[in-house]
């Protein structure tokens, strides 16, 4: 997958990618559309078990059942935010040649290992047959293209760099509004700590600290320098990165790292319940906040919580995309193709995303369905002046080895609080990524 390019270069790259994919689609790449394959069943593997995401999957499943009345749907979802548990189970299944019919993955570099191992099929012909090249944005097509082939079907766009905050706690701490810079953020965290009995910044399982790290790097370095970290030969031992990591260390002093069982939901809930001032989490939290009981919290925007870009990232959309694949030797390939049609359809995406707390990957979604925060997100994603940065934790810019090595470095930092060792770990992770 290509590392995120500056916006003015995207049209060139995307045009090349699309032209190459279309040409290949006409000369042997996946000419079989699965219509004659086994459609009796489809096993869909994901990590969508939490509030919002599970509701969205259920809505898509119901639409799939209407369109495919003879196909049994097996929901093989495994709990764990960001797919931390599901990916390990999936790796074991693929190694043992027992793939599901389709599995969830983040669009981008996360899929490289599956591609290079020959574990998933290219989907150029699927995109051509279903007229998808014209309804997906060019910048997304470019990011999911590897050696002129497309290997996944995106269902949504998420924003990773969102600051959720409790307006009442900020008022009690004498904070006028959401902090605009990393320095302002540290000052605000100290004010909450000094003037209230609330948690300044809530965290969940360890991966939420990785998520926080990417936001601090983006906010401290700026978009171009952050994106450059994921280019081949990137340098991670610069003074600017050192400064950003020291800021990360300062911010971590104001957090409470929860048990793994808490995951992101508990950390996000602390904000709307008035127990924590801030939480930096992707916009899937919005679906959880406003969703109806029993899975959602039924909270109200501007009353129970507010949002802003994470400190220092105004004008940048740190993005990620959930997508689905077609594994090699899928037991029910016809069912898998039918599922990919659902995932890529306007109807499926408009049923799924308002519940998930995301916006459609397609450009023709029904805008009236996206209200509150989601209206804002859709406007920012499509704005001509927005800068884009790929989320490393959520699979856009870092392959699985790099991702794991960063997580290991962060885990050690949580124990020893040594910024120098953290930076050396990140330097080694980049050098050994093989990307």
Residues 411 and 268 in one domain: yes
The whole-number pLDDT of residue 33 equals 62
Residues 331 and 226 in one domain: no
Residues 110 and 235 in one domain: no
The whole-number pLDDT of residue 16 equals 32
The whole-number pLDDT of residue 375 equals 98
- Mean pLDDT across the stretch 121-150? 94
Least confident of 81-90, 164-173, 367-376, 415-424: 81-90
Angle of CA points 217, 222, 228, to nearest 5°: 80
In a domain, 1, yes or no: no
Least confident of 184-198, 250-264, 315-329, 388-402: 250-264
In a domain, 103, yes or no: yes
The whole-number pLDDT of residue 24 equals 36
The per-residue pLDDT for range 190-235, each reduced to its tens digit, is: 999 999 999 999 999 999 999 999 999 999 999 999 999 999 999 9
Q: Which residues, in sequence order, are CB contacts of 258 under 8 Å at separation 6+?
A: 202, 203, 204, 205, 266, 267
Residues 343 and 410 in one domain: no
For the chain, what's the residue count?
435
Residues 386 and 407 in one domain: no
- The full 3-state SS of 45-85, as one line of letters, equals ECCCCCCCHHHHHHHHHHHHHHHCCCCEEEECCCCCHHHCC
The whole-number pLDDT of residue 294 equals 85
- Mean pLDDT across the stretch 71-82? 89
DSSP labels for 296-318?
A: S----BTTTBEEEEPTT-TTEEE
**Which strand (E) or helix (H) includes residue 8?**
helix 7-25
In a domain, 334, yes or no: yes
Alpha helices in 68-150 (DSSP H): 86-95, 112-116, 124-129, 138-143
pLDDT > 90: percent of the chain: 82
Mean pLDDT of the chain: 90
In a domain, 2, yes or no: no
Whole-prediction pTM: 0.89
Q: What is the CATH number of the domain that holds 175?
A: 3.40.190.10
The per-residue pLDDT for range 226-278, each reduced to its tens digit, is: 999 999 999 999 999 999 999 999 999 999 866 555 789 999 999 999 999 99
In a domain, 339, yes or no: yes
Residues 218 and 287 in one domain: yes
Residues 153 and 245 in one domain: no
The number of distinct structural domains making up the chain is 2
Query: Cα separation of 12 and 312, whole Å?
Result: 29
Alpha helices in 297-418 (DSSP H): 333-344, 346-356, 373-381, 400-416
- Mean pLDDT across the stretch 319-348? 97
Query: Cα separation of 230 and 232, whole Å?
Result: 7
Residues 328 and 232 in one domain: no
Least confident of 122-131, 138-147, 176-185: 138-147
Using the predicted structure, report yes or no on whether residue 82 has a pLDDT greater than 80. no
Query: Cα separation of 181 and 178, whole Å?
Result: 9
- Mean pLDDT across the stretch 350-373? 96
The more confidently predicted of residues 81 and 85 is 85
| Domain that residue 419 falls in | 162-318+391-431
């Amino acid at each position: 997958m290509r590392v995120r390019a500056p916006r003015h270069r995207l049209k060139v790259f995307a045009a090349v990618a699309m032209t190459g994919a279309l040409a290949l689609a006409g000369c042997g790449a996946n000419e079989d559309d699965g219509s004659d394959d086994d459609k009796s069943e489809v096993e869909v593997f994901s990590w969508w078990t939490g509030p919002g995401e599970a509701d969205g999957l259920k809505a898509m499943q119901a639409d799939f059942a209407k369109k495919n009345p003879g196909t049994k749907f097996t929901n093989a979802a495994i709990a764990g935010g960001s797919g931390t548990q599901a990916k390990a189970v999936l790796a074991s299944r693929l190694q043992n040649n027992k793939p599901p019919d389709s599995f969830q993955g983040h669009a981008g570099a996360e899929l490289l290992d599956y591609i290079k191992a020959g574990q998933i099929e290219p989907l150029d012909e699927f995109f051509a047959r279903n007229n998808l090249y014209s309804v997906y944005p060019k910048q997304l097509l470019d990011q999911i293209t590897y050696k002129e082939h497309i290997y996944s079907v995106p269902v949504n766009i998420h924003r990773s760099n969102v600051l959720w905050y409790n307006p009442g706690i900020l008022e009690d701490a004498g904070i006028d509004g959401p902090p605009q810079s990393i320095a302002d953020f540290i000052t605000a965290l100290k004010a909450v700590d000094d003037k209230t009995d609330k948690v300044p910044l809530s965290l969940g399982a360890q991966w939420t600290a990785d998520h926080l790290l990417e936001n601090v790097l983006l906010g401290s370095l700026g978009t171009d320098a952050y994106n450059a970290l994921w280019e081949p030969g990137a340098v991670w031992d610069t003074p600017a990165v050192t400064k950003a990591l020291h800021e990360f260390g300062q911010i971590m002093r104001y957090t409470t790292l929860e048990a793994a069982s808490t995951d992101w939901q508990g950390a996000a809930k602390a904000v709307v319940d008035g127990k924590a001032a801030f939480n930096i989490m992707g916009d899937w939290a919005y679906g959880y906040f406003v969703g109806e009981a029993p899975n959602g919290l039924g909270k109200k925007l501007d009353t129970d919580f507010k949002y802003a870009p994470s400190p220092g990232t105004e004008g940048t959309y740190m993005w990620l995309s959930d997508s689905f694949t077609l594994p090699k030797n899928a037991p029910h390939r016809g069912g898998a193709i039918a599922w990919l049609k659902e995932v890529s359809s306007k109807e499926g995406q408009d049923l799924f995303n308002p519940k998930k707390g995301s916006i459609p990957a397609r450009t023709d979604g029904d805008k009236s369905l996206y209200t509150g925060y989601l209206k804002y997100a859709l406007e920012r994603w499509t704005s001509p002046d927005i800068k884009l940065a790929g989320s490393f934790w959520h699979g856009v810019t870092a392959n699985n080895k790099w991702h794991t090595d960063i997580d290991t470095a962060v885990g050690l930092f949580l124990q020893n609080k040594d910024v120098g060792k953290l930076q050396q770990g990140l330097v080694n992770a980049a050098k050994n990524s093989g990307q």
